[in-house]
Amino acid sequence: MSGLGSWICFLQSRRLNPGTFLHAHASVSQYRWGAYMSFLRQCWSADHKRISSRWPGQAIAFVVVVILLFANTCIVWPPDTAENDSALLILLGSGLSARTESQLDFRDPERLFYSAALPEGYAMDIAFHQHQLIVALQGKNRQKDQLIFLRTNGSILKSTDLPAASLAAIDSWQDNLYILNRVQSRLIQQINPAGQVLQTWQSPSRIAGKLYGLAVQQNAFYTSSYQDGISTVWRMDRVSGPLKPRAIYQVPAKIHALQLRENTLVLAGQTDQENQLHLLDLNGRKQSVLRMPPYTNMGLALRENRLWAMNQYHGAVRLFPFSVDAAQGVVTGGPLVRDVQIRVRFVNHNTNPYQLDYWVPRPVTGELQEINNVSISPPPASLLTDAEQNEWAHIQLPASRSVNEVQISFQIRSLSRVWTLDPSIKLADGSIPSAIRTWHTRVTSAFDYDAPIVKKIIGGLPNQGSYTDQLLSIQDKVNDLLTVNGPSGPEKQASLFLEKGEGRCYAHTLGVAAVARGARIPMRAIGGLNISQSAEAVEDSSVHTWNQFWYPGQGWVDMDSVADDAKNGQHSSDHFAYHPAHYWITFRGAYDRIDYQSSLANRGWYGIYRWQSIDPKNKARVKKEGTRIRSVEPSNVASW
């Protein structure tokens, strides 16, 4: 069997689409923009509008950094006209990257997104026209089609009625709009924002299947059709007379939307296993396929080099920017914003006085989440950083009360992320920093891979195969041993859960981490919240725990093995290398014996407490009576 065939069979045996792991590789020239700017901020005193004299030599250093910064910037800054770009400026994290036009990378998602309730109909596509967001709405039951113009708060600015023609897509080019109809005699029409038809293109023969998406180029149109599980991408030259479709690409997926940036055609598609983003280089016909978060992309639009998507959202549509890093195989987007309130009650079941200390992870901003307006009541007596670099609030509760309540409230914006992993990387390949390997493969009281049952599992892992193969084997073996049946029991060690054979997220997290660490794969636990995705005020959110593994070239990547497990014994990989926006992180590291200083996370990872009676002869009876978590989408979500 050929090498390609072997890989396809291997990926199918792992229940993963071969296209999942294709990468676009480009040479990257990176400049540490973030580091420069951080240094400049230290040197510059905003209060006095002058170079600070706090550090001798800063003035000279400031000038040097400015010269370097602008020298580097001039190398990669693109010209004003998009038609003549040879490089696209990207801001990804702290690096400034220049990539060729055959790759597609966009800046990190901006804060703004839209959530809009539309008139009755089918939202088919979106477009930006002169900074105005437009939704193409297909009428129900052959009713009129509409163009819906939205304000930034999601409300409707105006609508333009169009004749019923099965409106399928919209795009903008220069000063005009272009719409795709499923009526062949009016296949593509050029219109103005008022809906006046300026030009019509017909198709001489019917394209088989339903049409989705429209991208307009100076000399051509692009669209896709779907029939019998296959999508075909068509190019139609903009000439006088009927259009002559020419197939340029086929894929076994349903392409919902497409967009064009320079000579890269972006296709949002869906298979039975996953959502995908296809990047097609129209010059070299090179193809890259990236995984997408598991929401249906109903439309794509391009605005100032940011790619926007549209999906269904609780009876409305949500429109948001997302970033694509083809070289790293990372897609990030789909923001979720919530006001969160957490209440914890401690009750003394008699009147005897007691002393109580409570430690709770303080919500902090991270790579995929931004925290605002944190309030903790009563105020913490101190903040403590543990050995895993998590920040904990230490609260001392009044001894005179029979009922004490701790309340934590904050506002959070979080993002989804999906990683497309390279299957060619072997476990021994790549660069894993020694500090990462040493610290995150050590045995702990919870990750007890020195126990016999864990050693047996490790001994049964495949000796060959890719890094991804090893990780999926670990997940499957743990899922085979653990039945998802009720809450996890009182056990605090991976070996005890694996011997018992049942447990939910805590049991799966311990089992996966113990086996992976014993196999010398850096693995850590994540403690967080699984917040309801409903925009309404709900209290069915819960604490949750999952894993992250270190992947060469990618860093920390999420996996949630309990979400990929099922009571019927079937497993999937939907939550492998995927971080949902409604998973919010409060703790990273390992579950170990608690010492109230360097280690504060074990079974009660979301908050631990200890109490003692003030009078040894008259002992109190203090118990924690549950955790209530309430979340709601704030009213100012669009501009938060």
Quick one: three-class SS letters along 557-597?
EEECCHHHCCCCCCCCCCCECEECCCEEEEEEECCCCCCCC
Kindly report whether the peptide bond that precedes residue 462 is cis, defined as omega within 30 degrees of 0.
Answer: no
**Banded model confidence at residue 537, pLDDT cuts 50, 70, 90:** low
Q: Which pLDDT score, from 0 to 100, does residue 91 have?
A: 21
pLDDT digits (tens, 9 = 90+) for 297-337: 889 998 777 788 888 766 678 888 888 888 889 999 888 88
Q: Which pLDDT score, from 0 to 100, does residue 80 have?
A: 25
Q: Which pLDDT score, from 0 to 100, does residue 592 have?
A: 92
**Banded model confidence at residue 258, pLDDT cuts 50, 70, 90:** very high
Q: Which pLDDT score, from 0 to 100, does residue 519 have?
A: 93
Q: Which pLDDT score, from 0 to 100, does residue 429 have?
A: 57
Angle between helices 452-459 and 505-518 (to 10 degrees): 60
For residues 149 and 133, is the Cβ–Cβ distance under 8 A? yes
For 319, phi then psi, to 5°, come to: -125, 125
pLDDT digits (tens, 9 = 90+) for 271-297: 988 899 999 998 876 789 999 988 778
Summarize the confidence of residues 229-233 as an average pLDDT: 95
**Banded model confidence at residue 79, pLDDT cuts 50, 70, 90:** very low
Handedness of CA 328, 333, 338, 344 (dihedral sign): negative
Between 78 and 139, the higher pLDDT residue: 139
Tell whether the model's pLDDT for residue 16 goes beyond 50.
no
Q: Which pLDDT score, from 0 to 100, does residue 495 have?
A: 96
Summarize the confidence of residues 18-29 as an average pLDDT: 30
**Banded model confidence at residue 109, pLDDT cuts 50, 70, 90:** very low
Q: Which pLDDT score, from 0 to 100, does residue 1 have?
A: 42
User: Of 66-80, 117-131, 306-320, which range is least confident?
Assistant: 66-80
Tell whether the model's pLDDT for residue 568 goes beyond 70.
no
Q: Which pLDDT score, from 0 to 100, does residue 569 have?
A: 60
User: Of 209-213, 298-302, 465-469, 529-533, which range is least confident?
Assistant: 529-533
Summarize the confidence of residues 58-68 as an average pLDDT: 39
Q: Which pLDDT score, from 0 to 100, does residue 487 have?
A: 72
Tell whether the model's pLDDT for residue 345 goes beyond 50.
yes
As a whole number of angstroms, the distance between CA 549 and CA 345 comes to 35
Between 57 and 456, the higher pLDDT residue: 456
- What proportion of the chain, given as a percentage, has pLDDT over 90? 41
User: Of 71-85, 192-206, 382-396, 457-471, which range is least confident?
Assistant: 71-85
Place of tokens 């113990």: 514
- Strand order in 264-270's β-sheet? 254-261, 264-270, 275-281, 287-292
Decide: helix, strand or coil at residue 463: coil
Between 636 and 558, the higher pLDDT residue: 558
Q: Which pLDDT score, from 0 to 100, does residue 508 have?
A: 93
As a whole number of angstroms, the distance between CA 468 and CA 455 comes to 20
Record the pTM: 0.79
Q: Which pLDDT score, from 0 to 100, does residue 541 have?
A: 62
Tell whether the model's pLDDT for residue 578 goes beyond 60.
yes
Spatial neighbors of 184 by CB under 8 A, at least 6 apart, are: 202, 203, 206, 207
Handedness of CA 323, 326, 330, 334 (dihedral sign): positive
